[in-house]
Amino acid sequence: MRYPSLLLVLFALLLLPSMATAQVGITIEAEAGPVWQGSNTVEVPNDGTATRFALTGLTGRGAAPAGRLTLTWGITARHSVRALAAPLAISETGTRTAPIQFAGETFTADTPIDARYQFNSYRLTYRYRLLNTDSFQGSIGLTAKIRDAEVRLEQGDQRAFDDDLGVLPLVHLAAHWQPADRWQVRLEADALAGGPGRAVDAALTAGYDLSTQWTLNVGYRVLEGGADVPQVYNFALLHYALLSIQWRL
- pTM (2 d.p.): 0.87
Cβ(138)–Cβ(159) under 8 Å? no
Say which CATH class 2-248 falls into.
Answer: mainly beta
Distance between CA 53 and CA 234 in Å, rounded?
Answer: 10
Higher pLDDT, 3 or 65: 65
Please give the angle made by the CA atoms of 39, 144 and 165, to the nearest 5 degrees.
Answer: 60
- Give Cβ neighbours of residue 13 (< 8 Å, ≥ 6 apart): none
Peptide bond into 32 cis (omega under 30): no
Q: Express each pLDDT in 115-161 by its tens digit.
A: 999 999 999 999 999 998 989 999 999 999 999 999 999 999 999 99
25-43 and 232-248 strand pairing: antiparallel
**Residue 19: pLDDT above 60?**
no
Distance separating alpha carbons of residues 150 and 105, to the nearest angstrom: 16
